Amino acid sequence: MLFWVLPQTPSLSQVILIDPGHGGEDCGAKTVYKKKKHKPKNICEKDLALRISKKIQSKLKRKYQVYLTRTHDRTLSLEERAGLADKIKADIFVSVHLNSVSSKRGHGYETYYLDNHKDEAVKKIESIENRSAKGEELIINQILADLVIQRTAPSSKRLASLIHKNITKRVKSKFKLTDRGTKPALFYVLALSKRPSVLLEAGFISHSKEIEKVLSDSFQNRYADGVARGIREYFKKKKKFSLF
């Protein structure tokens, strides 16, 4: 008896836009990494964000159409990043960042989705990541944010929790990291993208021990793998629900 096995051709129907935070003139968070017997090294959030984003892309590109808002070190406004999401008709938008605090004590990874909240600690992170939006632009963006929240918050929250769950499985115990959870925040780049979206803070480059982990290829690979697994799970579940 003959069995015909159909080859697994990827549908490539879903479109993912990965956004490496900052770039070009905007370094994002900065720190000096000091390792014994080595010259101190300047570290910029933008470079790490790009490295992790490329790893996420390579883990997903066989099954989905995956684009990056930037593939090299260049300046890009929040509007340009979000505009690209419209142009390529992205189903989801994932912005990749790294955290930093002046006290140098903060540590751990966290995942944000777009929603209103009253958390003062989150407001501090927002002010850093929203830096390039100012004045009048902020007011317009607030109106836009409210409209986008109404439409996308449940999907964004589900996407954030699936990504975060998979990141936790891949990095928490292996690298002894603190799980800071999934949180709502008003990041304008997410609002402007107008689709289910998340913003990842992969770790603190201001923490002397955490930066060593975050800089390692092994952390970046496992973290990217967690993000990719979460995205796959999101699309799989979405497909199942859309049958009814």
**Residue numbers at the binding site for Zn ion (CB under 5 A):** 21, 28, 97, 129
CB of 54 to Zn ion, least distance (A): 17
User: Nearer to Zn ion by C-beta: 91 or 129?
Assistant: 129
Choose between 43 and 229: whose C-beta lies nearer to Zn ion: 43
How many residues appear in the chain? Answer: 244
Question: From the CB of 114, what's the least distance to Zn ion, in Å?
Answer: 16
Nearer to Zn ion, 171 or 199 (CB): 199
Compare residues 130 and 152 and give the one whose CB is closer to Zn ion.
Answer: 130
The DSSP line for 66-116 is: EEES-SSS----HHHHHHHHHHTT-SEEEEEEEE--TTS----EEEEEE--
Q: Which residue minimizes CB distance to Zn ion?
A: 97
How many alpha carbons lie under 13 Å from residue 157 in its C-beta half-sphere?
A: 11
Tokens of 1: 């008896």
Residue 102 C-beta: closest distance to Zn ion, Å: 15
Q: Which is nearer to Zn ion, 129 or 210 (CB)?
A: 129
- In whole angstroms, the minimum distance from the beta carbon of 46 to Zn ion comes to 8
Q: Least CB distance from residue 135 to Zn ion, whole Å?
A: 21
B/e letters for 19-39, b = 16+ CB within 10 Å, e = fewer, are bbbbbeebebbebebeeeeee
CB 165 within 8 A of CB 156: no
- Considering the complex, state which of residue 21 and residue 203 has its C-beta at the smaller distance from Zn ion: 21
Give the whole-angstrom CA distance, residue 16 versus residue 3.
Answer: 35
Q: Is 120 helix (H, G, I), strand (E, B) or coil?
A: helix
CA separation for the pair 93, 244 (Å, rounded): 25
Q: How far is the CB of 189 from Zn ion (least distance, A)?
A: 10
